[in-house]
């Protein structure tokens, strides 16, 4: 037995060690060098009587094999006296095996209060009483191993054992919490549910089964769990007949309901199967683990949806990527489509049509075309936009459009679009959806951004957010600063559609009639192009390069051949509010509209080449506080405030992620160093960004903890001692930032360093 697990310096208390399992544990520990307190009341299996004989006999057995043992005859309800016996005889206690037990079985109907009370007192209160007396001794010396004895009856329930089951499972709860409280002091607590032949089972099990259930098949697990080399803590094991299993909690993925709407019993009934579906089950091991889903539902509320829209799916999914390209021909065709070219000799028109002219510009409103074409093609190809049901296509109307050009569109480009259903609003019967499309050029620079707002007939009613009810871009009550009147060509829709919108509604008279229109209507985005041009010619002297963005609401349909009258109000040097009517019907067709202008023509970012290595220039240093600044400031603070150091008396280790770093705040000696701690009392693991946010950005430590973003290991209670940092002067962090940026005055001030350290335990 060269690698034998010995207990030579250890003092062990085994309760109920006069027979059955307890005796076996006592013999095992005695044979392996421990000094054993053999406790047993010596009563009957149902709790009556009292005798010293049982404990004495086991003490004799241990001594007979040259072991050391003393007897104790107190009831486990008198835990302090049992622990005192250990102190009186052996000077300390290292291991407690809470094993004593009796039965008072009766069906719940017939169970008396005495039956209940006695079982509770011996099992739950008794185990607590002995453990409670040993606890401070173990914590003080930084060593302890404790076993609680539960039962299958407690874990699974068993007829006639309501009292016993309740007390036994209570022991598991006790053990779990003691494991949390004792772990950092090397006081480890585990629970076993044994099955063994003893006087408690001999009347219920046949002889041949009892033979296979020797207590010797249980004691080895107890020996291992109590050895100093075993670090298991908070575990639950079934053991007997040569089988040893570990148990854990399992939790179904379940269902997350949206918190903004009432949750009804009917909702639960509807989702009952899903609630009980253990596919991809989780195994939470701590309260924090168990709270993650709930906290997530509070911090990131479910958005809901219906068969047409699934907002949670949309939110959780990455944008869909689409690629396409355009060239000079596409730009010219688009320009013709939105009414350019009626004056073929006018350079102000040719600049959109003649690719070899002095200037060749893209109309800014073209920024929507590749994005929308890509999106439509994606849908036609049967590709899904996450969150948008494939069944909505014939319910869609283009309601509003926003296009932003990051810089003047080049004459040709290869594009990558990232498309995502941003959100949807529930308007009762109908819904409004908003799709974001970010468009990048071949080098990855963003070239345009589009926000497509569409109206979905009959797709509302899921009880979701109704969305803002604002009237944006309302024209002021004064005469417009500019008015442009322009007749649309009778064949305009026929040209415009060649830019990619093939909807027959814009060309097929019969199709249009079936839709309730006298004749094919003009594309809304064709009118959009006209309106954009009207601004360029009125406020940009026909140079479109300072055009930043356009936002419109499509109020009514327009027919080819009608006359558009665009009224424009210059609200500032960079903002024009717009309203467009059809002259013949005097009806508003474009409203809540505005164009924004750049003050200067934006230019593309210079590209880094291999000859110009990218180095982080001083001016690219983060201007705000970094985690390094904060730790340096804490170091300065601790050095200047020794009183805080002595009162906290804790070594905090921070493990930062992304970028990875470790820091030690040693509030025992008052020093802060980069790197891991030798013996941290508590370790806090968090992303670098969230650490900074928590210290100076108002991020709440409690929320981060419950959301699983701040992990605390070791002594959880110690984490709350970081409270002392609340007293730290924010100027210390500001000073660190200033030092790093190499300046004194004039460096940006850090936000108030006022960390919310109160971490729940």
Q: Show which residues are catalytic.
A: 164
Q: At its nearest, how many Å lie between ligand NAI and the CB of residue 241?
A: 10
Number of residues that bind ligand NAI (CB under 6 A): 31
| Spatial contact of 144 and 95, defined as CB atoms under 8 Å apart | yes
Among 14, 32, 35, 42, binds ligand NAI (CB under 6 A): 42
**CA 318, CA 421: separation in Å to the nearest integer?**
10
Contact with ligand NAI (CB under 6 A): which of 11, 12, 13, 21?
A: 21
Q: How many CB atoms lie within 10 A of CB 217?
A: 20
Q: Which residue has the tokens 């990875």?
A: 660
Please check whether residue 172 is in contact with residue 51, taking contact to mean a CB–CB distance below 8 angstroms. no
Chosen residue from 10, 28, 32, 40 binding ligand NAI by CB under 6 A: 40
Shorter beta-carbon distance to ligand NAI: residue 198 or 538: 198
DSSP state of 750: P
**Which of 7, 15, 92, 96 lies closest to 58 in space, CA to CA?**
15
Question: How many other CB atoms sit within 10 Å of the CB of residue 283?
Answer: 9
For every residue of 539-575, DSSP letters joined together read HSTT-GGGEEEEEEEE-S---TT-EEEEEEEEEETTE
Rank residues 18 and 670 by Cβ distance to ligand NAI and give the closer one.
18
Q: Which tokens is 225 given? A: 């769990």
Q: Is the dihedral of CA 80, 83, 87, 93 positive or negative?
A: negative
Q: Which stretch binds ligand NAI (CB under 6 A): 199-207, 388-396, 418-426, 680-688?
A: 199-207
Query: Shortest distance, CB of residue 110 to ligand NAI, whole angstroms?
Result: 20
* Window 97-126: residues binding ligand NAI (CB under 6 A): 99-102, 122, 126
Instruction: Work out whether 15 is an interface residue with ligand NAI (CB under 6 A).
Output: yes
Is residue 21 within 8 Å of residue 147, measured between CB atoms? no
Using CB atoms within 10 Å of the CB of residue 675, give its burial: 0 to 12 exposed, 13 to 18 middle, 19+ buried.
exposed
652: phi then psi, degrees, rounded to nearest 5:
-100, 130
Q: How far apart are CA 633 and CA 5, in angstroms?
A: 49
3-state secondary structure labels for all residues of 140-161: HHCCEEEEEECCHHHHHCCCCE
Which CB atom, from 100 or from 576, has the smaller least distance to ligand NAI? 100
In whole angstroms, give the CA distance from residue 134 to residue 84.
Answer: 9
Q: Which is nearer to ligand NAI, 147 or 522 (CB)?
A: 147
- Region near ligand NAI per CB under 6 A, out of 196-204, 567-575, 594-602, 636-644: 196-204
7, 11, 22, 176: which one contacts ligand NAI (CB under 6 A)?
A: 22
Stretch that binds ligand NAI, among 14-22, 531-539, 687-695, 738-746 (CB under 6 A): 14-22
Closest distance of CB 670 from ligand NAI, Å: 49
Residue 54 makes contact with ligand NAI by CB under 6 A: yes
CB 140 within 8 A of CB 186: no
For ligand NAI, give the closer residue by CB, 149 or 664: 149
Contact status: 151 vs ligand NAI (CB under 6 A): yes
Q: Interacting stretch for ligand NAI, rule CB under 6 A, among 15-23, 324-332, 515-523, 730-738? A: 15-23
Of positions 87, 111, 166, 200, contacts ligand NAI by CB under 6 A: 200
Could you give the string, one character per residue 201-240, with x where binding to ligand NAI holds by CB under 6 A and - elsewhere?
A: x---------------------------------------
Q: How many CA atoms lie within 13 A of 116 on its CB side?
A: 9
**Could you say which DSSP state residue 305 is in?**
B
Asked if 170 interacts with ligand NAI (CB under 6 A), we say no
Please choose, from the candidates 217, 86, 94, the residue with its C-alpha nearest in 3D space to the C-alpha of residue 146: 94
Please report where in the chains the tokens 């500019």 appear, as a residue.
Answer: 482
Our finding on whether 20 is near ligand NAI (CB under 6 A) is: yes
Please report whether residue 524 would count as binding ligand NAI according to CB under 6 A.
no
Q: Which is nearer to ligand NAI, 99 or 715 (CB)?
A: 99
- Using CB under 6 A, pick the residue from 196, 550, 564, 750 that binds ligand NAI: 196
Binding status of residue 67 toward ligand NAI by CB under 6 A: no
Q: By CB under 6 A, which span of 17-25, 361-369, 415-423, 731-739 interacts with ligand NAI? A: 17-25
- Smallest gap from Cβ 51 to ligand NAI, in A, equals 8
Stretch that binds ligand NAI, among 35-43, 388-396, 656-664, 680-688 (CB under 6 A): 35-43
- Helix (H/G/I), strand (E/B), else coil: 84: helix
- For residue 649, what is the enclosing H or E element? none
Among 63, 199, 246, 673, binds ligand NAI (CB under 6 A): 199
In the set 13, 26, 195, 536, which binds ligand NAI (CB under 6 A)?
Answer: 195
Nearer CB in complex with ligand NAI: 201/720: 201
What are 347's two structure tokens?
């350079």
CB of 123 to ligand NAI, least distance (A): 6
Question: Which of 12, 30, 39, 96 is in the footprint of ligand NAI by CB under 6 A?
Answer: 39
Q: Judged by CB, which is closer to ligand NAI: 200, or 291?
A: 200
Tell me if residue 76 falls in helix, strand or coil.
helix
**194 contributes a contact to ligand NAI by CB under 6 A:** yes
Distance CA 154, CA 161 (A): 9
Q: What CA–CA distance (Å, rounded) separates 759 from 707? A: 12
Q: Please name which of 264, 544, 259 lies closest in space to residue 403, comparing C-alpha atoms.
A: 544
Out of 5, 31, 45, 87, point to the residue binding ligand NAI (CB under 6 A).
45
Residue 83 touching ligand NAI (CB under 6 A): no
259 CB burial (10 A radius; 0-12, 13-18, 19+):
exposed
Under a CB-based contact definition with an 8 Å cutoff, are residues 253 and 34 in contact? no
Residues engaged in binding ligand NAI (CB under 6 A): 15-16, 18-22, 39-43, 45, 54, 75-76, 99-102, 122, 126, 149, 151, 194-196, 198-201
């Amino acid at each position: 037995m060269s690698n034998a697990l010995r207990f030579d310096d250890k003092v062990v208390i085994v309760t109920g060690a006069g027979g059955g399992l307890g005796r076996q544990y006592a013999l095992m520990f005695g044979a392996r060098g421990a000094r054993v307190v053999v406790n047993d009341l010596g009563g009957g299996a149902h709790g009556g009587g009292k005798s010293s004989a049982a404990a004495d006999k086991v003490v004799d057995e241990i001594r007979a094999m040259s072991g050391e043992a003393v007897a104790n005859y107190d009831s486990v309800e008198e835990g302090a006296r049992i622990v005192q016996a250990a102190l009186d005889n052996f000077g300390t206690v290292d291991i407690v095996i809470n094993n004593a037990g009796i039965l008072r079985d009766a069906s719940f109907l017939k169970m008396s209060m005495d039956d209940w009370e006695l079982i509770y007192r011996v099992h739950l209160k008794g185990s607590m009483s002995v453990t409670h007396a040993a606890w401070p001794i173990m914590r003080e010396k930084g060593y302890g191993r404790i076993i609680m004895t539960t039962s299958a009856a407690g874990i699974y329930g068993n007829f006639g054992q309501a009292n016993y089951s309740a007390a036994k499972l209570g022991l598991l709860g006790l053990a779990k919490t003691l494991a949390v409280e004792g772990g950092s002091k090397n006081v480890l607590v585990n629970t076993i549910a044994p099955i063994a032949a003893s006087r408690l089972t001999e009347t219920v099990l046949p002889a041949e089964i009892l033979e296979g259930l020797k207590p010797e098949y249980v004691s080895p697990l107890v020996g291992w769990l109590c050895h100093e080399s075993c670090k298991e803590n908070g575990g639950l094991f079934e053991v007997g007949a040569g089988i040893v299993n570990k148990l854990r909690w399992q939790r179904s993925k379940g269902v997350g309901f949206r918190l903004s709407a009432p949750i009804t019993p009917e909702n639960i009934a509807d989702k009952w199967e899903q609630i009980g579906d253990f596919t991809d089950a989780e195994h939470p091991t701590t309260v924090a683990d168990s709270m993650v889903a709930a906290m997530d539902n509070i911090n990131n509320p479910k958005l809901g949806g219906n068969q047409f829209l699934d907002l949670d799916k949309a939110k959780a999914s990455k944008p869909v990527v689409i690629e396409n390209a355009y060239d000079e021909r596409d730009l010219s065709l688009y320009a013709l489509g939105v009414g350019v070219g009626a004056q073929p000799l006018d350079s102000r028109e040719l600049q959109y049509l003649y690719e070899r002219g002095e200037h060749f510009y893209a109309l800014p409103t073209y920024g929507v075309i590749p994005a929308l074409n890509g999106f439509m093609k994606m849908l036609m190809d049967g590709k899904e936009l996450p969150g948008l049901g494939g069944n909505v296509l014939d319910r869609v109307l283009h309601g509003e459009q926003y296009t932003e050009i990051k810089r003047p569109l080049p004459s040709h480009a290869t594009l990558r679009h990232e498309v995502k259903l941003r959100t949807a609003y529930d308007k009762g019967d109908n819904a409004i959806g908003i799709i974001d499309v970010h468009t990048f050029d071949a080098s990855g620079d963003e070239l345009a951004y589009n926000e497509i707002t569409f109206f979905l007939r009959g797709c509302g009613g899921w009880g979701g957010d109704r969305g803002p009810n604002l009237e944006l871009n309302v024209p002021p009550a004064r005469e417009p600063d500019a008015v442009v009147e322009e007749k649309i060509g009778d064949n305009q829709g026929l040209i415009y559609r060649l830019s990619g919108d093939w909807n027959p509604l814009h060309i097929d008279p019969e199709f249009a009639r079936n839709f309730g229109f006298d004749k094919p209507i003009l594309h809304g985005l064709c009118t959009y192009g006209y309106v954009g041009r009207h601004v360029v010619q009125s406020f940009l002297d026909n140079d479109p390069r300072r055009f930043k963005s356009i936002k419109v609401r499509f109020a009514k349909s327009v027919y080819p051949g009608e006359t558009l009258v665009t009224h424009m109000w210059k609200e500032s040097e960079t903002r024009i509010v717009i309203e467009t009517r059809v002259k013949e019907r005097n009806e508003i067709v474009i409203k809540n509209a505005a164009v924004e202008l750049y003050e200067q023509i934006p230019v593309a970012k210079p590209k880094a080449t291999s000859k110009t290595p990218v180095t982080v220039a001083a001016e690219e240093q983060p201007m705000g506080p970094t985690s390094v600044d904060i730790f340096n400031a804490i170091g300065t603070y601790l050095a200047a405030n020794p009183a805080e150091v002595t009162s906290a008396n804790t070594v905090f280790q921070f493990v930062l992620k992304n970028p990875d770093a470790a820091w030690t705040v040693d509030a025992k000696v008052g020093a802060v160093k980069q790197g891991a701690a030798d013996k941290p009392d508590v370790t806090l693991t968090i992303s670098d960004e969230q650490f900074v946010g928590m210290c100076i950005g108002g991020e709440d430590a409690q929320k981060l903890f419950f959301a699983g973003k701040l992990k605390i290991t070791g002594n959880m209670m110690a984490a709350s001692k970081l409270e002392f940092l609340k007293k730290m002067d924010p100027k210390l962090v500001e000073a660190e930032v200033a030092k790093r940026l190499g300046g004194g005055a004039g460096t940006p001030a850090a936000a108030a360093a006022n960390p919310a350290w109160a971490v729940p335990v």
